[in-house]
Amino acid sequence: MLFAHGFLRRVFEIFEGYKTSIDMVTTSEVGVSVTIDNNKHLEEIVDDLKKFGTVTIHKDMVIVCVVGDLPDENVGFQAKVVDALKDIPIRMISYGGSIHNISFLIHSKDKIKALNALNEKLF
């Protein structure tokens, strides 16, 4: 992906071609991580994505969102959220396109533990 003009467009076109919505996305200089909730065409999508690089799949994951009034002036709130999840392996973090949510991708088996920890730490 580094210095690859149009890379994200080509990746997203693959999902569009299979009418598969992306729920969450994070990017770096050398990679893209996405979540989907419909794996009907997963095998075909993976085959197409492999033309661009290495593809790794993680199953049995859930997205946990912390939703609220999270303006820039609310200093330290993000740290409280991350601290609440310090004992839970996090696969992805997305500080959304708005100031109203932070999303985390975690293993399904950790969902209840994560929700309890967030509730304890934030409320």
CATH says 7-49 is which class?
alpha beta
Does residue 98 or residue 32 have the better pLDDT? Answer: 32
Q: How confident is residue 3, by pLDDT bands cut at 50, 70 and 90?
A: low
How far apart are the C-alpha atoms of 123 and 120, rounded to whole Å?
A: 6
In the chain, domain spans: 7-49, 61-122
pLDDT at 25 over 80: yes
Domain 61-122: give its CATH architecture: 2-Layer Sandwich (3.30)
What are the structure tokens assigned to 123, written together?
A: 């409320």
Contact 35, 63 (CB under 8 A): yes
> CATH topology of 7-49 equal to that of 61-122?
yes
pLDDT at 24 over 90: yes
pTM above 0.75, yes or no: yes
Residue pLDDT, tens place only, 34-46: 999 999 999 999 9
